[in-house]
Amino acid sequence: MTHRTAIIMLIMFSPLFFCQDKDTDKKPNTFVGAETCGLCHKTEKAGKQYDIWKSTKHSQAYKALLTPRADSIALARGYKTPAIKTDECMGCHTSGYKADPTLLGAKFHVEDGVQCETCHGAGSNYKSVSIMKNKEEAIKNGLMIHTDRESFCVQCHNEKSPTYVKQDFAVMWDKIKHPIPKSK
């Protein structure tokens, strides 16, 4: 192996290669927490996404695992652990679960359940206003938007959920939608 291929291989197999974007100076995206997104996504003009999210079940998804009902669901699945300590449950009911702790910012709270960054991706690199205003740049910096919403939702809303009941997608979306007002 030549010196050059050795170096290329070293770079390719270094863990940093996989978690960094192409721009070598870019830090990996960390979770900043729903409140941070809410700093800008709270006003009438922006579309009150934070308040809408707060009023949905997604913001309560962690708390739902603290109930006796949740523990009995976990028990019925054969788990000896309470729901809140059961990996399978936590995976769908929280954000950043099992992520490297260094990727969880100080303002990120697992207790916020299914939050902005569960669906839009960890936000430290795209949350600045200059990047946010430019959709293309935001996406380049890790913002996830979903053109096929339904197949995204089905990643959690499926038969693997112990309480799953098939629902009409349009009705589900209507309960959580949080659009930017058109008349800006």
Give the integer Cα–Cα distance in Å for 1 and 55.
59
Among 53, 108, 109, 141, binds ligand HEC (CB under 6 A): 53
In angstroms, the CA 91 to CA 107 distance is 20
- Burial bucket for residue 54 (CB in 10 Å: 0-12, 13-18, 19+): middle
Q: Quick check: 125 binds ligand HEC (CB under 6 A)?
A: no
Q: Which is nearer to ligand HEC, 110 or 132 (CB)?
A: 132
Q: Which of 8, 10, 145, 151 binds ligand HEC (CB under 6 A)?
A: 145
Q: Rule CB under 6 A: is residue 149 a binding residue for ligand HEC? A: yes
Which of residues 99, 103, 110, 153 is near ligand HEC by CB under 6 A? 153
Contact between residue 142 and residue 122 where contact means Cβ atoms under 8 Å apart: yes
Among 104, 112, 116, 125, binds ligand HEC (CB under 6 A): 116
Under the criterion CB under 6 A, does residue 9 sit at the interface with ligand HEC? no
Q: Please, are residues 144 and 120 in contact by the beta-carbon 8 Å criterion?
A: yes
Q: Which of 30, 114, 125, 141 binds ligand HEC (CB under 6 A)?
A: 114
Choice between 99 and 176, CB closer to ligand HEC? 176
